[in-house]
Chain A
Amino acid sequence: MINHSHKINIKSLPGSHDISRKVLPNGITLLARSNFQSASVVLSGYIGAGSLFDPKEKLGLAHFTSLALMRGTKNRDFQQIFENLESIGASLGFGASVHNTNLGGRCLADDLPLVVDILSDCIVNPIFPEGYIEKLRAQLMTSLAIRAQDTAEMASLEFDKLLFENHPYGLPEDGYPETIREISRTDLLQFHSNYYRPDNMVIVIVGAIDHESAFDLFEKTFGQWQNPLSPLKVQLSPVVPPKETIQQHIELPGKSQSDLVMGTLGPRRHAPEYLAASIGNNILGQFGMMGRIGDSVREKAGLAYYASTSLNAWIEAGSWEVSAGVNPSNINKAADLIIKELERFSSEPVSQGELEDSKSNFIGRLPLSLESNSGVANAVLNLERFNLGLDYLQRYPSLIEAITPEDILKAAKKYIDPQKLIIVSAGSQKMSK
């Protein structure tokens, strides 16, 4: 039953009535939703060529390959690609995550044919020019050097490594300096020919174009692209929860603030308790001013500018994390307060009031998250990625309404054991003021 305070018109949300879906003969999945209120079009999509295919000694290969796509093709050099795009105010870009190489773009509707042509050229015909590989390598190495000085990133990196031991989720998609150095042009060419294929590609088109024209355009530009003969095989090792609390500090000299990341595993996106955990996470560290943890660590104790939680649910597993930026001398105090909140959260049901607040927030924020073309494109892409069904957003309010305090407690108990956490800090502990 839908509470009267959540008066959203579910018909106005993207759904099977206004999202069109088509699979091209070569396997590319297209989804389109029109919006003629603005003269622009957003593209969002992925190819199933993520860092999980990276050889260990060449970690960062998927990422490197994705960034190199736009450095030159059989038909256009780097200058032509960006001259074409930038002169019309369009944008196009690629990047890699564990499962996918992601793509995104935006342009005025009139310019869509040109942008799709460049997109297909970069995906199908990249030549990875030697000179640009080296330029890109220098940029990647600089990003890694900057990362090595970033307290939040370093804490997060170590957290993932400890939580997802021997699993691609525990490894950074952008690699390490020593693995980036190992990657050659041949590696890029090989990665591209092995893993870039139409049958694992999804593209969402949202904006001032009708779905038939959008589908025709993609069929015309991508229709000739053929799949390699060999099917893809992936075997990932299972993920296991921490057996005991592991506390680790990464010393970075000369930093005023330390970053703290702590937590444990969370549900994968398809787990039955995912939505209950998600609402619970909102209560724990997001709602209002960063939920219970924000209230305890920031509002009451004044220990941090930020202290909040995140639930990251992927295909195979997920993480449930708390992060905070604190003065080096307050790391332990903040960690203790967070553990107290985790103890309470995993032993007592949330109150009816807290639950109603978060349910209302989850349902009420839908229109806001879906007002722009890019918001809609993200939502539609997730429907496809996690196989949720085109009517998921219509079903969503009742799925949220059905969640009880007991469901949340059950999910919390299943994942969070406050005695078995990964706790990582990064900063200048040795020079604390």
Chain B
Amino acid sequence: MVDKINSFTLTNGLKVLLKEIHSSPIISHWVWYRVGSRNEVEGKTGISHWAEHMQFKGTPKFPQGVLDRAISRDGGMWNAFTHLDWTTFFETVPAEKINLPLELESDRMNNSIYDPLEVESERTVIISEREGNENEPLFRLEEAIQLAAFKFHPYRNEVLGSIADLQSIQRDDLFNHYKTYYNPQNAVVAVAGDFETEKMLELIKDRYTDIPGNPVPKTTIRIDQILHQEEQIEVHGPGETTYLELTWRAPAANSDDFFALTVLDSYLTGPTSLNMFGGGGISNKTSRLYKSLVEKELAVSVVGSLQATIDPFLYNITITVRPDRRWQDVLSTVDAEIDKILQSPISQSDIDRAVKQARALFTYGSENITNQAFWLGYSEMFDDYEWFLNYVDHLKSSTPSRLLEAAQRLLPSNTRVRGVFLPERGEA
């Protein structure tokens, strides 16, 4: 994980990160754009995600279907993701086939068509994607929580967008979004795998240097105040299962508090894995909240979620309530446990354990070159790749007193949103 990473910036502003790994004859190539739901305005929510879909609809040189066919033909793996702060596209291919992804990604950075007919057929595909998500109680609960947690910040909106916006966004909106944000000055190319750095840099220059770089308009974002009184929301829907979700404002990824909360979360709900492509996870049966909720038969599961973001986003604890219990009893138990870490420090051995777990997870994840390339670019989107290199050391530098102080600032109950999904049994 601490192997050498080389960083370059091309004349058009494109940042390039390269990491040689010679364990398998494979290369993983990623292009990251600094655009996501964070850059969206009301009326156009979901546009970043939709634009990501349109990037598979073809350029004059590579018409629709050619991209995925060409990569799949070589036995490669490819996909794209849109999140709060970023949109990313990747291809992992046999090393000798690396020219293909370089050609495809550099081409669609600038030459995608956005055919109006394709925009229309994709509209229903995306609405269908959203409808699939709406089937899930936790999607509906989380969407409601985000709206309650932020009044102004675009993080309040679902990455998929609202149905109303998905029905009204037009081809030119999408095309303008593309032309504004997909450009070398707003992008990072990250490549890991079986190559020589100098040669790879030349290949990248050949493909990307001629794309003009333009400054990206600054996104004006109104940061919300921290809540001063707990927001309480309820979502109702079919089912038999009650979920309780507690959500606090999380620190930005580049702050020391982020690492403090990572350790606290590990203590409360178990370690979180940054492995997106294999490498597994570690169970959380000895975490504080599992012991007090699942072992004590109040809940059937508890998970925590903290995401690395540019601006403060949210830290969630999500609990699946046992069918024979009341969510109010679960809540008071969670409150009692959180009170403990607000009153007295957790031990040094709890910190050591979180560090050991994080190290093990990185070791498992580093077996996959796609993971390694993902980590490179990912950390650039909210900080820089040093963030990733120093991740374990940052966790390690936590002290019990520092964590106590951070917990007191970050986790008071009056600053949170309390969301409950209540099932409506037997509704038909």
Q: Which A residues are within 8 Å of any B CB, using their own CB?
A: 7-9, 12, 37-40, 78-79, 82-83, 85-91, 93, 106-108, 135, 138-139, 141-143, 145-146, 148-151, 251-257, 287-289, 295, 298-306, 325-327, 357, 360-368, 371-375, 427
Contact = CB atoms under 8 A, between A and B. Distances in A.
21 contacts: A38-B367, A40-B363, A83-B286, A85-B283, A87-B356, A89-B282, A91-B280, A106-B280, A142-B322, A149-B239, A255-B135, A256-B131, A289-B68, A298-B125, A305-B126, A327-B127, A327-B131, A357-B73, A361-B74, A366-B75, A375-B278
Given A39-B363, A287-B72, A289-B65, A254 B238 contact: yes
Given A108-B363, A368-B77, A327 B128 contact: yes
A135 B368 contact: no
A326 B366 CA distance: 37
A304 B126 CA distance: 8
B310 to A, nearest CB: 28
A107 B356 CA distance: 12
Contacts of B356: 87-89
Interface in B60-113: 64-65, 68-69, 72-77, 92, 94, 96
A331 B103 CA distance: 39
B94 A364 contact: yes
A254 B427 contact: yes
A165 B361 CA distance: 43
Nearest to A430: B428
A292 to B, nearest CB: 11
A144 to B, nearest CB: 9
A93 B358 CA distance: 19
B143 interface: no
Contacts of B394: none
A37 B238 CA distance: 49
A360 B100 CA distance: 15
Contacts of B135: 150-151, 255-257, 427
Given A38-B367, A325-B132, A367-B94, 9 more contacts: A150-B135, A255-B238, A302-B125, A305-B129, A325-B128, A357-B73, A361-B72, A374-B278, A374-B280
A89 B241 contact: no
A290 to B, nearest CB: 9
B300 A139 contact: yes
A367 B297 contact: no
Given A257-B134, A289-B65, A138 B128 contact: no
Nearest to A208: B363
Contact of B75 (A149, A150, A305, A367): A367
A372 B368 contact: yes
B241 A146 contact: yes
B369 interface: yes
Contacts of B120: 302
B23 interface: yes
B258 interface: no
Interface string B345-360: 0000000010011111
Contacts of B270: 86
Interface in B223-250: 237-241
Nearest to B136: A150
A364 B73 contact: yes
B124 A303 contact: yes
A367 B369 CA distance: 12
B65 A256 contact: no
B72 A368 contact: no
A361 B75 contact: yes
B122 interface: yes
B283 A93 contact: yes
B412 interface: no
Contact of A82 (B76, B285, B357, B363): B285
B283 A299 contact: no
B26 A367 contact: yes
Given A253-B428, A257-B131, A375-B278, A368 B297 contact: no
A88 B241 contact: no
Contacts of B353: 86-87
Contacts of B132: 256-257, 305-306, 325
Contacts of A298: 125
B242 to A, nearest CB: 10
Contacts of A254: 237-238, 424, 427
A91 B364 CA distance: 11
